[in-house]
Amino acid sequence: FNPVTKIRFDIAKSGFAKINIYDISGKLVNSLVNQNLNVGTYEAIFNGNNMASGVYYYTIQVNDFTETKKMILMK
């Protein structure tokens, strides 16, 4: 992505949701979502404008579900 991307995610059961962005070393660099959400489809916007090019990971946590995906910032 360059430098903004949308992270789409679905909530199947209402609950507390978190989306965190980590750099390649595992350091937390941004928190996009940190709130209770109802059932539905959502988008979180990540702006990497002030970040260095490279590999980043985002983790989506909702209730007992956790998923981590890789993204590459190329400027």
Least Cα distance to 8 among 36, 40, 31, 48 occurs for 40
Segment 45-49 mean pLDDT: 96
Predicted confidence band at 75 (pLDDT cuts at 50, 70, 90)?
confident
Which domains are seen in the chain, by residue range?
A: 4-73 (2.60.40.3080)
Task: Tell the residue number behind the tokens 């916007």, with chain if given.
Answer: 45
Count how many Cα atoms sit within 13 Å of the Cα of residue 58 in the half-sphere of its side chain. 21
pLDDT digits (tens, 9 = 90+) for 31-45: 999 999 999 999 999
